[in-house]
Amino acid sequence: MKEKYSQSFTIFAGNTSSFPSRPSVKLNFRNFFLGFAYILLFIFLVLSIFLWVSHPQNKKGPSVLLDRASLEHLTEYVVHSDSVSFPSQKNCTYYTCFDVYKCSHIHSGRIGVYVYPLVEYVDKDKVPITKKITLEFHNMLKTIINSVYFTPDPDEACLFIPTIDLLNQNRIRPKDVGKALASLPYWNEGRNHLIFNILPGSMPEYHPFLEVDIGYAMATSGGFSSLTYRSGFDVSIPVFSPLAADLKGQNTGGDRTWLVISSQPNIHEDFREIISEMAAEHPRFLVLNSCASSPLDTKIRCRDKEVYRFPEILLNGTFCLMVRGVRLGQPTLMESLAAGCIPVIVSDSYVLPYAEVIDWKRAVLQVYQGDLSKIMDVLSCVSSDRINEMRRMGNWIYTRYFSSIERITLTTLRIINDRVFPHAGRSYSDWNDPPPDRRPLTSNTFALPIGPPRSQGFTAVVLTYDRLESLFHVLERISTAPSLAKIVIVWNNQFKDPPSILSWPRLPKPLQIVRTKRNQLSNRFYPFPEIETEAILAMDDDIIMLTTDELEFGFEVWRQFPDRIVGFPSRTHVWDGRSHGWKYESEWTNNVSMVLTGAAFYHRVYNYYYTSAMPGDIKNWVDDHMNCEDIAMNFLVANLTGKAPIKVAPRKKFKCPECVNADLLSVDLSDMTAHMTERSECINRFARIYGRLPLRSVEFRADPVLFKDNLPDAFKKFKDIGSL
Amino acid sequence: MQAKQRYILLFLSCAFLALCYFGGYRLKGIFPDRGRHWPPLDCYMEREEMMEHRSFWSLPPRQRQEEAKVTTLREQCRMETCFDFSKCASGFKVYVHPVEETVAMSSTYRKILNVLTESRYHTTDASQACLFILGLDTLDRDSLSSDYVRGMQSKLNSLPHWNGGQNHIIFNFYSGTWPDYTEDLGMDIGRAILAKASMSVQNYRPSFDISLPLVHKEHLERGGDILPVYAENIPAASKSYLLAFKGKRYVYGIGSETRNSLYHLHNSRDVIMVTTCKHGKSWKELKDERCEEDNAEYDRYDYEVLLHNATFCLVPRGRRLGSFRFIEVLQAGCIPVLLSNNWVIPFSEIIDWKTSAIWADERLLLQVPDIVRSIEAERVTALRQQSQLLWHMYFSSIDRIIFTTLEIVRQRIHQHLWKDGRVWNSFPGGLVTLPDYTDTPSRLPWNQQQSTSMTLANGGQKNENASQFTAVIYSQQQAGSPLVPATSSGPLLHLLRVVSRSQHVARIVVVWASDFSKPPPSRWPSLTRGIPLHIVVPQQKQNIGERFRPLDLIETDAVFSLDEDATLTTDEIDFAFHVWRHFPERIVGFPARTHYWDDTKGQWGYTSKWTNEYSMVLTGAAIYHRYYHTLYTDWLGPLLHKTVDQSHNCEDILINFLVSHVTRQPPIKVSQRKQYKSSNLSAVTSRSPWNDPDHFLQRQTCLNTFVALFGYMPLIRSAVRFDPVLFKDPVSNLRKKYRQMELVNN
């Protein structure tokens, strides 16, 4: 910096010598010095202000403190040997040991998490009571601080994270740590504190719970037994394996050389004997141990003299054994999941990671320790379908909840958050179903296999513009159906008011008119609050041929198949080899894949889906082109249910017997071929938007039981069924 | 002048340099790692730990296990320490201790024992048993109650198979008594599994105990039909009340605070919280200042009406953690709002209650209305549907509750079995899903539709099993029948030819239940396209239920069950199979029958007349999923099987009951050319059972026996027949795919 300035100065000086007149030079010099002085003064001020402002940051946020370098010189905090710790409470539950009043920000629906500043705890002799902070704990703290839950204000917080690294009990002095915890400013006997631990217990007992006095605090651990795990209070987390990350992206399906791999080093003789015996009988059973040449090399495993790279070898295994070691949880679980090798867990009373929310049955096999010798019988019975499904599930669980310290930490916080705000919490499906299987919330509308009772009836929704005469005709016809509960007229004409009450025909059923704001086809599928029954009969205002018996029977069929569109005019789609596209077909065919909504029953939930959950721009497209709303509806239902619509009764013409072409049900277009082409285009367009053709084609239709049977009409319940 | 300026400049430069120097030092403090490389932090696990060095082991696991088994305290019981798995090696059977008639027993416990002794789990041989159930009523262990059985401990200890309670399940509804209502049963249950209502988290032994719902004395013993939830609006129509509760409160003592403060929520508009102090004899002496007012408000609302017209219903704790409210609320189609801290909600091991109930916290009582209001309409509908589903599958009758309990225990014994949360929480549920049949849920009939659409989406891998069927022909020639078996012209042979012409048949299996010996292979025809033909002789020929035995030979999902005298055309067979593929969970077939209520006799009637509705499709010519063979053989209770065996009849009615009971859907009839049995033959053979009035009466009796054993009438009527799209349309027959179906004669 200094050099640069002096250089510029010399250049300037050099130049000045060539100036012809002196006084001007003098003036220039003077100006220059003044200017230079000002510049210096300005820089001086800026720098000092910057330094002064930046000064307090040093103390404030832990975000600065958590910098790698600052870990090297932490403030020391002396733990006094006479301070009293508070013993861990075995019987704690969320309701008895967690102070929920601290979290009562109901509307945010999010817990506030406070992280204590990082200091180094030392005893009175200045000896640290824990080993140096580990990478994993450091990452955990970083994750929490960067998460949405973090709050720097302890008064706002409902969860407190002590910054003493207790991940491994062997790295700490438990008694002193208890005292150190008790000296925390907001400790309050540990209430609302979360202690992160992965490896609990130490020689010789390896108790499955962190042997530190944590009072009323919650704990996470990778080795809970069901005897020490306080259900709904503690969080069981995986034993993080730093090796598992090496497998990233290498996990593929396909054939695997080994049926079972036991890769844990130094399994106890009790188990090793059994495992070796089994391996001797089964050629596809690979038993690995640490290598005699370098027993502490984590990256290799050996079978006698054969050396295998670890954890890559797990990519070749279908099942991977996880037998309990000195502790219940083992890092192999993570390595196996990462490698797509289905874990077989032999660890009695081990509480699996996040067992509270994860359905482990879908990803692992569990066997009691006593049944270890029968493991091959169990494994040989697992079907290849299940293997694929478990692998997929394991893979998904792993990437979503386990693959990094960051995810593990966030999952833990999420679980605690869901406990505090259970009504906003994730459901089983949210936690466990991989995205393609995830069903929308309303998907269980048809969870119960029964339709609504006949007595509820159906609501006829008739879309009309201005064809009053035929509308009145239709109304008079359908109103004779006993199951009709109500007629809702969707008045799509903004330029004309509906005729006065007096001019409407007198009907035995209630009638309501809904006026729309714009003339759009999708108005007919709007979830009007006027529709009170579950069944909707969608009608065009020119379908005059339907008989009462046909309507009643159609409703009867719909009640049995409430999740499908049940209707009268049917259409189908065929693959057109010439145009390499789908073709809309209205000819008399043996197939049905669509039912036109000019006269069809369907569940009103589909109105809701049509209006609010239609994929892509289908809805706008339909409104712009005034066509294909029925095809869009058929696509929607078929996509949601994977089922075909049902055509009722043989009738194919609905307007007038003499009409040649029965297709123009909804739109009055004169050019037939253009209309058909456009509808074929609709199918192709919608199929592109869905990414596939969801329609399913069937070769049957629904008729009354005695239809066309050789019986007098008097025996038949539905006799007036038209034939064409 | 110039010198002065120079000095100033010099001074400023020096100051600047000084600042740069010290400031830089400071800056370095702010961005310290710039240019400096720190050693990486340690891993939390040292190498020795990762490799679990030998020196770490001190307690051998086997020794640890043995010690645990011996020294376990009651609170520490887990399956691996307190349960003897070896007893279950031969199967999952339940032994019920003999009932001492001298000891009083509550009606609910009697129902439990009835259900168990008539179930498929039951065994009378204690040496075969995996689980043991007491013949002593342990439901009510409140020593002040009238149902309390005294001297239980000595009675237990004198039981021959008690064995310290090992492998026993003890059912209990009430424990402890005034004033603290502890969860102590007043007896030492040793190593027994406790299936108990009102369990708290602290006393619940996870994966060992089972939390039960509290049920009324009037609760159905079995059966229990599904309740439709009417008028589900999307978005949900608001019922009259948002949140409701009506019940007594205790004024003081354990568990009273919650109900005592409910009146804060009451707004007599959409949140109705009415309580009464009236209970017991001496309530007047204990009443507080609110009692009079509360009682008046309490009488303004009818309990039933309130429950049925509320969207959410509060389930607050009583003296004990669980209350009758839970079951009542589910039954009424109301969404439970749980207000019972530390309660282990029933069957929480298998049921995902998050999708069917709302958790509230007694400590945050005043937030309850806000929480409930914050739930969007879509979720309300989903919650209600799901709670109805759960009620139907696991709570609607005693047998469902008890079988769920047993199945949970079975699942713990065989930890590796696959029945996961998806199965338990979706229709038709875990009780009708047998884990031995398959280990992927998509192979079950009711998931088939989804899975096929899924495979279509995933590139259309065609599953051979899904596009073919196995024909199972039941041959039952009576001695003396004029029909000649399996000769060149018999109806069986004709049927074999017709079936083998179908594009979809994978294999034909003839179940040879005739008294004649099996004809030698040479007399069987060779079929077209090399379709394999197998003749199977059932072990018990006279046992008509043998036709539904799950055979390894049946590899396809579809089973086309045929009587040997069925006269069908290949088109009919193909069309029926086509329809079945779209309804794999139902029975799809030709001959339909219906049931009706006979008011004059006060019983169910059975008719084969041509009616406008049907509720059964006979398996003389029907197609269904092979899983129903497994269910028929392994799932139905022994009394049902006995009814069929004794009458040599009704097996087709029973399978219709079974399928309707499981799916709650009617079967499907497809059109047929004419009567499926050739009438001229049956006219000749007067011995044909179809013309026998006794045969008919027997079927009626069966029907009524089945209704009694199922506990309700599971059959559902349908008025729908499926025909080919162009069936009997006035167009050229050449345009139709299933032409044979319209030909009048052969």
CB B143 within 8 A of CB B187: no
For residue A449, cis peptide bond before it (omega within 30 degrees of 0): no
Question: Do the chains contact at B415 and A527, CB–CB below 8 Å?
Answer: no
- The chain A residue lying nearest B349, using CA atoms, is A356
Pairing between β-strand B621-625 and β-strand B558-563 as defined by DSSP bridges = antiparallel
Three-state SS for B335?
A: strand
Percent of chain B scoring above 70 in pLDDT: 87
- Would you state the pLDDT for residue A105? 63
Cα-Cα-Cα-Cα torsion B180, B181, B186, B191, nearest 10 degrees, comes to -120
The answer, for B284 touching chain A at a CB cutoff of 8 Å, is no
Identify the band that residue B481 occupies on the pLDDT scale cut at 50, 70 and 90: very low
The secondary structure element, H or E, covering residue B157 is helix B152-157
Q: What is the pLDDT of residue A440?
A: 63
User: Chain A within 8 Å of B89 (Cβ-Cβ)?
Assistant: no
Among B12, B38, B378, the residue with its CB nearest the CB of A441 is B378
- Report pLDDT for B693: 78
d(CA B245, CA B267): 12
Tokens at A515, concatenated = 């006026």
Q: How far apart are CA B477 and CA A333, in angstroms?
A: 60
The more confident residue out of A461 and B688 is A461
pLDDT for position A104: 72
Contacts with A, B 443-482, CB within 8 Å: 443, 449-450, 452-454, 456-457
Å between B62 CA and nearest CA of chain A: 7
Alpha carbons B260 and B319: distance in angstroms, whole number: 12
Distance of alpha carbon B598 from the chain centroid = 32
Can you tell me the distance from the alpha carbon of B150 to that of B141, in angstroms, rounded to the nearest whole number? Answer: 9
Query: What ipTM score was computed for the predicted complex, to two decimals?
Result: 0.88
How far B77 CA sits from the closest chain A CA (Å)?
9
Over the stretch A536-595, which tens digit does the pLDDT of each residue have? 999 998 888 889 999 999 999 999 998 899 999 999 999 988 888 898 988 778 999 999
Q: Find out whether A593 and A645 touch, Cβ atoms under 8 Å.
A: yes
* Rounded-to-integer distance, Cα B94 and Cα B406, Å: 9
Which of B319-323, B382-386, B630-634 is predicted least confidently?
Answer: B382-386
Q: How many residues does chain A have?
A: 724
Categorize the per-residue pLDDT at B610 as very low, low, confident or very high, splitting at 50, 70 and 90.
confident
Chain B stretch 180-219, residues whose beta carbon is closer than 8 A to a beta carbon of chain A: 201-202, 204, 206-207
Confidence of residue B465 (pLDDT cuts 50, 70, 90): low
Identify the pLDDT of residue B30: 53
Max CA-CA distance within chain A?
A: 132
Say if residues A109 and A420 touch (Cβ distance below 8 Å): no
Adjacent-strand bridge partners of A130? A172
Q: Angle at Cα B433 formed by Cα B449 and Cα B173, nearest 5°?
A: 135
* Among candidates A266, A349, A556 on the partner chain, residue whose Cβ is nearest the Cβ of B720: A556
For residue A378, which residues of chain B lie inside 8 Å, CB to CB? 416
B177 Cβ contact list (under 8 Å, min separation 6): B142, B143, B144, B145
Would you say A335 and A314 are in contact if contact means Cβ atoms under 8 Å apart?
Answer: yes
Which member of A298, A370, A428 has the closest CB to residue B425? A428
Which amino acid, one-letter code, is at B556? T
CB-based contact A591 B443, cutoff 8 Å: no
- Quickly state the pLDDT bin for B622 (edges 50, 70, 90): very high
Please give the structure tokens belonging to residue B361: 């916290």
Walk across the sheet containing B241-248 and list its strands.
Answer: B271-276, B241-248, B310-316, B335-339, B358-359
Residue in chain B lying closest to A67 (CA): B33
**A-chain residues within 8 Å CB-CB of B374?**
423-424
To the nearest whole Å, the CA of A390 is away from the closest chain B CA by: 10
CB contact under 8 A, A69 and B671: no
Instruction: Please tell me which residue of chain B has the smallest CA distance to A47.
Output: B23
Task: Mutate one of B11, B20, B44 to test the A interface: name it (highest A CB count within 10 A).
Answer: B44
Q: Give CA torsion, residues B360, B363, B369, B370, to 10 deg.
A: -90
**A115-129, A207-221, B101-115, B462-476: the lowest-pLDDT one:** B462-476
Q: Which residues of chain A neighbour B727 with C-beta distances below 8 Å?
A: 650, 701, 703, 708
Residues of B in contact with A527 (CB under 8 A): 234-235
Is residue B701 predicted with pLDDT exceeding 60?
Answer: yes
**Which ranges in chain A are annotated with CATH 3.90.550.10?**
457-702
Torsion sign across C-alpha atoms A616, A619, A625, A628:
positive
- Cis bond before residue A311 (omega within 30° of 0): yes
The structure tokens 């596809």 sit at A284
Task: Compute the mean pLDDT over every residue in chain B, rounded to the nearest whole number.
Answer: 85
Nearest CA in chain A to B361: A95
Identity of the residue in B206, B379, B729 whose CB atom sits nearest the CB atom of A441: B379
**B chain contacts of residue A422, beta-carbon cutoff 8 Å:** 354, 358-359
Find out whether B403 and B382 touch, Cβ atoms under 8 Å: no
Would the CB atoms of B726 and A96 count as touching at under 8 Å? no
Is residue A395 within 8 Å of residue A337, measured between CB atoms? Answer: yes
Query: What is the per-residue pLDDT for B226?
Result: 63
- Split at pLDDT 50, 70, 90, the class of B27 is low
Substitution target in A136, A141, A348 with the highest count of B β-carbons within 10 Å is A348
Q: What is the mean pLDDT of residues B349-371?
A: 92
The alpha carbon of residue B544 is apart from the nearest alpha carbon of chain A, in Å, by 29
Distance from CA of A270 to the nearest CA of B (A): 7
Read out DSSP for A599-647?
EEEEETHHHHHHHH---TTHHHHHHHHT--HHHHHHHHHHHHH----EE
B73 touches chain A (CB under 8 A): no
- DSSP state, residue A222: S
Chain B residue with minimum CA distance to A420: B361
Across the beta sheet with A235-236, the strand order is: A194-196, A218-221, A235-236
Residue numbers in B near A203 (CB within 8 A): 56, 58
Distance from B339 to chain A by nearest Cα, in Å?
Answer: 12
CATH number of A249-402, picked from 3.10.20.30, 3.40.50.880, 3.40.50.2000, 3.40.50.450: 3.40.50.2000
Beta carbons of B49 and A168 less than 8 Å apart = yes
Share above pLDDT 90 across residues of chain A, in percent, rounded to a whole number: 54
Of A199, A229, A449, the CB nearest to B427: A449
B78 → closest Cβ in A48, A226, A240 = A226
For A689, the token pair is: 């938007």
Q: Is the pLDDT assigned to residue B238 strictly greater than 70?
A: no
Q: Could you tell me which of A556, A560, A559, A558 has the C-alpha nearest to residue A548? A: A556
DSSP A509: S
pLDDT > 50? residue B687: no
CA distance B53 to chain A (A): 6
User: CA–CA distance from A663 to each of A591, A654, A679, B580 (Å)?
Assistant: 16, 9, 11, 30
* Per-residue pLDDT at B589 exceeds 90: yes
The residue of chain B with its CA nearest to that of A570 is B725
Residues counted in chain B = 746
Q: What is the DSSP-derived secondary structure letter of residue A121?
A: E
Taking an 8 Å cut-off on Cβ atoms, the answer to whether A270 and B418 are in contact is: no
Q: Test A423 with B359 for CB contact under 8 angstroms.
A: yes
Q: Which residues of B are catalytic?
A: 652
Phi, then psi, of B37 in degrees rounded to 5: -105, 120
* Contact: A385, B442; criterion CB under 8 Å: yes
Helices B651-663/B638-647 angle, 10° precision: 150
- Interchain pair B669, A226: CB under 8 A: no
Rounded CA-CA distance B312/B244 in Å is: 6
pLDDT of residue B195: 96
Q: What is the pLDDT of residue A553?
A: 95
Contacts of A642 in chain B (CB under 8 A): 449-450, 452-454
CATH 3.40.50.2000 positions along chain A are 249-402
Q: d(Cα A705, Cα A111) in Å, to the nearest integer?
A: 61
Greater pLDDT, B177 or A593: A593
* Residues of A with Cβ-Cβ distance to B731 under 8 angstroms: 588
CA dist., res. B139 & res. B104, Å (int)? 12
pTM of the predicted protein model? 0.89
Positions in chain A whose pLDDT score sits under 50: 1-22, 55-64, 657-670
Of A44, A51, A700, the CB nearest to B725: A700
CA distance B432 to B422: 13
Q: Which CATH number fits domain A457-702: 3.40.50.740, 3.30.830.10, 3.40.640.10, 3.90.550.10?
A: 3.90.550.10
Mean pLDDT of B457-483: 66
The H or E element that residue A703 is part of is strand A700-704
DSSP strand pairing (A646-648 vs A594-595): unpaired
Selection from A199, A136, A148 nearest residue A405 by Cα: A136
Mutate to test the interface with A, among B12, B38, B45, B183 (most CBs of A within 10 A): B45
The answer to whether B80 contacts chain A (CB < 8 Å) is yes
Chain A residues with beta carbon closer than 8 angstroms to that of B231: 452, 456, 532-534
pLDDT tens sequence across A76-92: 888 888 888 899 999 99
Q: Which of A43, A386, A432 sits opposite B421 (nearest CB)?
A: A432
Q: What is the DSSP letter of B213?
A: P
The mean-pLDDT minimum among A462-476, B24-38, B58-72, B293-307 falls in B24-38
Residue in B closest to A171 by C-alpha: B44
CB contact burial B94-124 (16+ within 10 A = b; e otherwise) = bbbbebeeeeebbebbebbbbbbbbbbbbbe
**Would you call A582 helix, strand, or coil by DSSP?**
strand
